[in-house]
Amino acid sequence: MTVNHASVLTKEYFISYLTLIMKSREYTLPQAESFALDFFFKGDNERYGPSTWSQFEKP
């Protein structure tokens, strides 16, 4: 998935992203979240700004 650094990614984006990870890698939700933190955010929750991070963390 291409990411535009200038925009805030939404909760819906992350639902789709995590669903894709879970299906393609046969991961559980916690495993997919961990993968996203390592692969997508590169371990830096501020990588795409605080607004994007807060969308990722929304329940």
pLDDT confidence of residue 44: 95
| Per-residue pLDDT band at 59 (split at 50, 70, 90) | confident
What phi-psi label fits residue 9: left (phi over 0), alpha (psi between -120 and 50 degrees) or beta? beta
In which band, very low, low, confident or very high, does the pLDDT at 2 lie, cut at 50, 70 and 90? Answer: low
Give the whole-angstrom CA distance, residue 48 versus residue 25: 24
* pLDDT of res. 7: 83
Tokens of 39: 């692969």
Compute the distance between CA of residue 59 and CA of residue 55 in angstroms, rounded to an integer: 9
Higher local confidence (pLDDT), 51 or 5: 51
Instruction: Dig out the tokens for 55 from the structure.
Output: 């969308």
Q: For the segment 3-38, what is each residue's pLDDT rounded down to a tens digit?
A: 655 688 999 999 999 999 999 999 999 999 999 999
Residues with Cβ within 8 Å of residue 47, at least 6 apart in sequence: 41
